[in-house]
Amino acid sequence: MHSRRTVLTTAAAAACAMGTGGGAVHAVASGPRAAGAADARVRAARLVSRMNLEEKVGQLFVMRVYGHSATDPDPADAEANRKEMGVSNAAELVAKYHLGGIIYFGWAHNTRDPHQIADLSNGIQRAAAAQRVPVPLLISTDQEHGIVARIGAPATLFPGAMALGAGRSREDARTAGRIAGEELYAMGIRQDYAPVADVNVNPANPVIGVRSFGSEPKAVARLVTAQVQGYQRAGVAATAKHFPGHGDTDTDSHVGLPYIRHTAEEWERLDAPPFRAAIEAGIDSIMTAHIVVPAFDASEDPATLSRPILTGVLRERLGFDGVVVTDSLGMQGVRTKYGDARVPVLALKAGVDQLLNPPDIAVAFASVLKAVRTGELTERAIDEKLIRILLLKERRGLFDDPYTTHRAVERSVGTRRHLATADRIADRTTTLLVNDDGLLPLSRRAQRRLLVAGADAASPSGTGGPPTKVLAETFNQLGFTATALPTGTAPTQELIDRAVTALRTQDAAIVTTYNVTAASSQRALVEALLGTGKPVVQVAVRNPYDIAQLPGVRAALATYSWTDVELRAAARVIAGRRDPEGKLPVPVMRADAPGSVLHPVGHGLSY
């Protein structure tokens, strides 16, 4: 674990500004834990007492910024910063608003490669050290792995949550969190918005799905605990999300305001266990959900703005005393009922500590300042929030040394050992759902020539490419002769005909599918390939429910993601190089009778 003994003083901040350390040395705690916690709180309070109101308010914000450099972004990124935030770069943003944190995104061009990320992190910390009251920033990102990964290869990419749920191994989940945490730490990132603690009980959920460990609360709780332990042992703050539970909705809170209709008793049974487990594991932070839960708040305010939910349930009932961070305040779910000037104030009043990524930082910052000056928010309440944030920063070693080095990156990020571990974990997650007449594993003699067709999805940056390409290359490495023919998630008749023609000169087809529905032309593709009489193997590269829409398929697998590590594992299973070990962490319901189970939780065939 990281140090709780760090001194929050001007001298420590000055040493921090010199950047003397390498970011990879973890301090050793000393003294009794209770006394240490009390001392840390005193140090934090002293630091808060040196700040003016603008500096205090700024520490509550975590903002996006465009560019690969803290001081010298590309011209287009500098222009985007000026347009959205009135500054040219990250250093100016920190100076203007006294920010407490920065969040990295691939689309904001923050995550080109590990060395660049480390340099960006160091530049941001130097900007923080130059402030009147130097406070290191908490740099964060959404590195859930699986379908949500802001940092691609050469960093190590692990199977996502539902794949880990299929693997059922707490040790694998813990190891994935620890290695991912070590690599983030080496790039200067000390907070990860993971793990997802939502229990995905609704197959129609458009926003969680495979980002969840599964549909069984106890199983999800065990893996959430393991991931929290892994991340935080590596020195990175874990963040359980999305409280009070985003698993049972068919609305995406990015574009709408979901309602969770669970009763209080159902919430206690279905949604609460993973969050309770995370809190018991000592999680540093919890992210709110932009969802309405009428059972807890009759006002129908989203949870992010609900005092009955964040203070009444999270703080008082569950006893969480760490940092509460909002989901992005640019999402439609939190903006539906109130304007952008009111949302930050209402979130703070509800019990939030960190305000993540408001659409207009100038409006949000001014509205919070006004609320304090008019008495709607007390400065004492702001101080308490700030103390929680400072304690988290101290716990994660930021006052010891917020910087990193290229040597730390080279020592930790994407090492051979880490990559091999990711492959071994992935080998335990691939789930074989159907294998009629023992079609799998394929034989290099009888089915040497393979057509790899089907849906491609946007892989995280720096990966090997679309799923059909990665699968074909892996099969070629395994001794087959494979040809990729991407047909997309909505194949036209022309593409379907091309695939059928191509299969006539091949021995078998591998067809990837992506969230097949009754109306999807992916069904027509699969049916046309089956009509050739050649063996067809279907691989679901996102949700595992596709097989319910494809009744004629004789061999079907679920990978739970389209990332390289999971696709390679699936190819090894199909080729017979590995036995399938994954078990469904969610039930697959029948398409023709949604109340009936086609494949239950725990289903998974072996050779």
In a 13 Å sphere around the CA of 487, the CA atoms on its Cβ side amount to: 31
For residue 545, give both structure tokens.
């429910």
For residue 283, give both structure tokens.
């999680």
Query: Strand 143-145 and strand 355-356: pairing?
Result: unpaired
For residues 338 and 472, what is the distance between their CA atoms, to the nearest angstrom?
Answer: 50
> Which residues, other chains included, contact 23 with Cβ-Cβ below 8 Å and sequence gap of 6+?
185, 186, 188, 401, 402, 403, 404, 405, 408
For residue 211, give both structure tokens.
């980002």
CB 356 within 8 A of CB 329: yes
For residues 568 and 139, what is the distance between their CA atoms, to the nearest angstrom?
Answer: 32
- The neighbouring-strand residues paired with 434 are 556
* 444 CB neighbour count, 10 Å cutoff: 16
CB 146 within 8 A of CB 563: yes
- Please identify which residue in the block is written with the tokens 């910063």: 81
Q: Nearest CA to 426 among 215, 157, 142, 218?
A: 157
Which residues have a catalytic role annotated? Answer: 254, 327
For residues 179 and 423, what is the distance between their CA atoms, to the nearest angstrom?
Answer: 13
- Exposed / middle / buried, residue 57 (Cβ in 10 Å: 0-12, 13-18, 19+): buried
- Please identify which residue in the block is written with the tokens 């992190």: 121
- Please identify which residue in the block is written with the tokens 């065939």: 605
For residues 586 and 161, what is the distance between their CA atoms, to the nearest angstrom?
Answer: 12
In a 13 Å sphere around the CA of 560, the CA atoms on its Cβ side amount to: 36
DSSP 8-class letter at 141? E
- CA-CA-CA-CA torsion for 207, 212, 217, 220, nearest 10 degrees? -160
Q: What is the DSSP string of 402-464?
A: ----HHHHHHHTT-HHHHHHHHHHHHTT-EEEEEGGG-PSPPTTTT-EEEEEE----PPTTSS
* Angle at the Cα of 485 from the Cα atoms of 480 and 488, rounded to 5 degrees: 135
Maximal CA-CA distance, the chain? 79
- Please identify which residue in the block is written with the tokens 């039930």: 587
